[in-house]
Amino acid sequence: MPRYALKVEYHGAPFAGWQRQADQPSVQGAIEAALAKLEPGPHTIAAAGRTDAGVHATGQVAHCDLQKDWDPFKLAGALNYHLKPSPVAIVACAEVAEDWHARFSAMERRYVFRLLMRRAPATLIDGLVWQVAQQLDAEAMREGAAHLIGHHDFTTFRSSICQSASPVKTLDEITIEEVEGQCGPELHFRLRARSFLHNQVRSIVGTLERVGAGSWAPERVKDALEAADRSRCGPVCPPHGLYLAGVGYPDDPFA
């Protein structure tokens, strides 16, 4: 039974998240329904990460098993045809080994968070960024973010419903880039790690926003981290600025 890796892009607004749910639309459910149009019967796909409701992706990776030997290019085209009008696209497809797994074969996940600094409503990119009215101090935010890089107990930045066995993670990278976007100045937060806790990225960005706004000193991020106390976290920012931007593997199946 051939296995195929799928690189998936989606707009998260219409979905209750990646994971299939019985009574709500999901990205997984949309792709599995499209697969059933190609090969009748139940399908179960696995993904590199389960994004929450409202979170987007430009580089989610999933895999599926099919009975037929498909040309990957034609499989991607057929799935995209049956995915309409859902805002989900298969941007790349590749046949992989039978033991390759979208989640367990992954070495890292990369997230991007977009924050727009503008007072007027952002009509053209509404739902694609987190908008704040004031300008933020990016350098102060970088100082605060530096305390989070490395191997730490991230209990402070972990959702109370997180199912991970341990709050200890290694955050390999946080960068904060100032960008002149389509609708005004944006900050792009880029985070990279082997894996993330539930709501970890949104908790970190929400906390750093408080630093950028001048409400927190950068050193307070270090204090919050070392406290290992969820109540010491800053506000958790909304999901619609967050993107799963890429997944790393020992050998890139889409290269």
pLDDT (0 to 100) of residue 67: 95
**pLDDT tens by residue, 6-18:** 999 999 999 999 9
Q: Report whether 174 contacts 204 (CB < 8 A).
A: yes
Kindly state the helix (H) or strand (E) to which residue 46 belongs, with its residue range: strand 46-47
Per cent of the chain over pLDDT 70 is 100
Is residue 241 predicted with pLDDT exceeding 90?
yes
β-pairing verdict for 46-47 and 56-65: antiparallel
pLDDT (0 to 100) of residue 217: 98
What amino acid is encoded at 254 in this protein? F
Average pLDDT estimate for 77-83:
98
Kindly state the helix (H) or strand (E) to which residue 184 belongs, with its residue range: strand 184-193
What is the spatial distance between Cα 128 and Cα 186, in angstroms, rounded to a whole number? 12
pTM for this model (two decimals) = 0.96
Average pLDDT, the chain: 97
Q: Is 52 a catalytic residue?
A: yes
Per cent of the chain over pLDDT 90 is 95
- Active-site annotation holder among 52, 65, 153, 172: 52
pLDDT (0 to 100) of residue 1: 86
Nearest 5°: CA angle at 249, between 162 and 175?
65
Query: pLDDT confidence of 22, banded at 50, 70, 90?
Result: confident
Place of tokens 């800053």: 234
Query: pLDDT confidence of 24, banded at 50, 70, 90?
Result: very high
Residue of 228, 182, 184, 190 whose CA lies nearest to 208: 190
Residue of 95, 76, 93, 92 whose CA lies nearest to 34: 76
Q: Which domains does the chain have, with CATH numbers?
A: 3-105 (3.30.70.580), 108-246 (3.30.70.660)
Average pLDDT estimate for 152-170:
94
**pLDDT tens by residue, 109-121:** 999 999 999 999 9
Query: pLDDT confidence of 160, banded at 50, 70, 90?
Result: confident
Nearest 5°: CA angle at 201, between 200 and 203?
65
